[in-house]
Structure 1
Amino acid sequence: MSLTRSWRSRCRAHWRRLPAQLPSALLSLVCLTLALSVAWILFDWLLVSAVAPWAPAGSCAASSGACWPFWAEKTRFILFGTYPFDLQWRAMVVCVLLLSLSVATGQMAVRGKWPDMRLFGGIWLAGMAASFVLMGGGVGGLIPVDPTRWNGLPILLILSAIALVLALPIGVMLALARYQTRHLFLQRAAATYIEVMRGVPMVTLLFVGVFVLPLTLPKGTSIDPILAVLVALVFFHAAYFAEDVRSGLISLPAGQHEAASSLGLSFWQTARLVLLPQAVERSMPALVNSTIGAYKDTSLVVILGLHDLSATARMAFSDVAWGNQALEAYVFVGLWFLLSCSYLSWIGRRLSARAAVRAR
């Protein structure tokens, strides 16, 4: 008898909650239906209605699905562009090197276990130098390759990974210069620089780096457009990193700085040992967001004649034989950016979760 009453009471309770749960259940059903519909469309386009990779190129015109022959033939071109075909192993090594360094840096940030900073910085500097040597050649018996033929994924990684790695320490120094109050000239100079860089569009700065910067060099000297763009990107992104780090510095309790001063630490010792470790951890979500935005904005270099991954994709379907495969080309590029940005977002979530655990 008691079991029957308990069952009836539970039924009444569920019946009373039904009106409140109904909208949520309907919304979940709609979302599930949409997700299944999108999944089926993708499955049909990629596999069911797709053209097999070994089929002739002409068969793609009569198909409503993906053209796998296009990916089979043009993937290498999208990745490396017009870089000499027999030397593309060098571009591949550069991609693997920069990706390995980037992934290793992300994993160390997630685990919170860093090696000696001088060793870590030396490894990155060696990787940067090796990237330019491998891509350009002319050293150690490597065949020289003109920078105009540096295309695709290598140029994207060089201009994004290297620029961001160099911009972060500059941004930290700018943040400290603007945060401190002892040297007003230094504080105002840093604030002016940051506000000017944040107020100028990146496209304008890129044009200045490529067309104006060479005019300031001594007569008879020149600067490679790739190096000029890299310098412009470093100083542009440094301003955004500076504000992200400064937000972390401002959020720290005043007692942190006062306690360090009472121990006789100088401002720079206080910043290095006490303030920066906490400020960087607090500003990590903003730093990751700025990193993702900067990474995607690197594609703007195409307006300067530098052919990154999106530009080589457009060149791939510009071929007469593959003129209808624009969707396949941009799906390839979009998938690359989706995977790489998802990895960066995952790092940001892990760092935020670790910071929340420490705060508790």
Structure 2
Amino acid sequence: MIHAAPPPLKRQTLLRDWAGTPLTALVSAASAALALWVLWRLLDWAVLSAVSPMSPMADCTGIQGACWRFYVEKSRFMLFGTYPYAEHWRPALVSVLLLVLSGIVGLRICGRMALIPARVLTGAWIVVVPLAFALMGGGWAGLSPVDMTRWNGMPVLLILSVIAIALAFPLGLLLAVLRFQDRSPLLRRAATTYIEVIRGIPMVTVLFVGVFVLPLTMPPGTRISPMMATLVALIFFHASYFAEDIRGGLQSVPESQNEAARALGLSGSQMLRLVLLPQALSRSLPALVNSVIGAYKDTSLVVVLGIHDLTSAARMAFSEPGWGAFALEAYAFVGVWFLLSCAFLSWVGRQLHQKETARRH
């Protein structure tokens, strides 16, 4: 039996499906032209008019493109700031450890490295976190001591973001459970008050409280460095946002799940651990990923306290006399770093969402 081929689409129908209305076609054409112009300017700046990294710095005078030689001269300063030059291997090792461990955790929760047990990753965090501070501070095993005021650049960004997020999440989980439960009204009100108060205060205010007020609450003679005070402030600040995300997930779980768990004879803790929390965390994934990305980027606000993270170290790199013309190169380095790292976090969130969607179906 011979089947007749479908009639060809009319040219007007194809044009209408592609361009839509005249107004949308005009907007699309203008957007495409703008995108092409931006891409051309970027190509001209980065390649056509740029100075290669092998050229001397003198060739960068008066150019319109990028000076890639700037990265050869200032890359280590942007990464590690005023940390002693001869000891740069220590912040480099700390950065690699935190990045590798964070990447493994991201891949592990996506199911890509299921062979690594969760207890192994937990043990790795318990070892790596104090090791990071020990390597950066020195004063043991022949390592020269380095004061925290000279900790700059990439390791500061990772310590204040990765460690703060890793410790804030379980605290936020606890706060969410306390606010959700109804067995202890006092604890519920306390958790609610804490969450609402912290979420209603700007992050900069919390940082100032952590650095200038927290030391006053310590016993006499006790000294806490601004870095540690900032880390504590970030943990308690981000925990309130994680708590609210998880609480939203708990409230979205149908009441029938509670009734089914009670019918099976599960205790309150068992119902929470085996039935409610797994579903709540799954439902709150988009909000949690958004909070993690926001917490990671907001770490740059610590510059107001005199703590120099990657962004601040990059600004110091071109603030020296004679380097002011290379601000765009310095900020491009920081922008690419945040773009790649946040893209990885977004990818992890999408993978988790797809995994949970496939599991439900």
Asked whether the 8 Å contact 1:301–1:308 carries over to 2, the reply is yes
21-30 or 283-292, larger mean C-alpha shift: 21-30
Asked whether the 8 Å contact 1:193–1:239 carries over to 2, the reply is yes
Q: Would you say 1:64 and 2:61 are equivalent positions? A: no
Q: Would you say 1:269 and 2:270 are equivalent positions? A: yes
2:8 corresponds to: 10
Counterpart CA distance in 1 for 2:100 and 2:133 is 16
1:199-238 Cα deviation digits (max 9, x unpaired): 1111111111111111111111111111110000001000
Quote the offset at 1:27 in angstroms.
Answer: 5.0
Amino acid at match of 1:10: P
Matches within 5 A, 1:225-236: 225-236=226-237
Quote the offset at 1:20 in angstroms.
Answer: 5.1
Q: Would you say 1:214 and 2:215 are equivalent positions? A: yes
Asked whether the 8 Å contact 2:105–2:121 carries over to 1, the reply is no
Asked whether the 8 Å contact 1:57–1:321 carries over to 2, the reply is no
Structure 2, gaps ≥5 residues long = none
CA change 1:45–1:17 in 2 (3 A) is closer
1:175-214 Cα deviation digits (max 9, x unpaired): 1111111111111111111001101111111111111111
RMSD after superposition: 2.1
1:229-261 Cα deviation digits (max 9, x unpaired): 000000100000001111111111112122222
Asked whether the 8 Å contact 2:110–2:351 carries over to 1, the reply is yes
1:22 corresponds to: 19
139-148 or 331-340, larger mean C-alpha shift: 139-148
Q: Tell me how many residue pairs correspond in the alignment.
A: 356
Matches within 5 A, 1:112-127: 113=114, 116-127=117-128
2:290 corresponds to: 289
Counterpart CA distance in 2 for 1:104 and 1:20 is 44
CA change 1:100–1:358 in 2 (3 A) is same
324-333 or 154-163, larger mean C-alpha shift: 324-333
Amino acid at match of 1:67: C
Counterpart CA distance in 2 for 1:157 and 1:22 is 46
Matches within 5 A, 1:238-317: 238-317=239-318
Amino acid at match of 1:285: P
1:111 alignment partner, SS class: coil
Quote the offset at 1:34 in angstroms.
Answer: 3.1
1:20-78 Cα deviation digits (max 9, x unpaired): 54336655544443333222211111111011223232322221000111111001100
Identical aligned residues as a percent: 56
1:113-171 Cα deviation digits (max 9, x unpaired): 48554443222121101100000011222211110000000000000000000000011
1:182 corresponds to: 183
Counterpart CA distance in 1 for 2:255 and 2:16 is 51
Asked whether the 8 Å contact 1:282–1:355 carries over to 2, the reply is no
1:321 alignment partner, SS class: coil
TM-score normalised over the length of structure 2: 0.93
1:97 corresponds to: 97
138-147 or 232-241, larger mean C-alpha shift: 138-147
Structure 1, gaps ≥5 residues long = none
TM-score normalised over the length of structure 1: 0.93
CA change 1:266–1:44 in 2 (3 A) is same
2:220 alignment partner, SS class: coil
1:353 corresponds to: 354
Amino acid at match of 2:74: K
Counterpart CA distance in 2 for 1:71 and 1:243 is 42
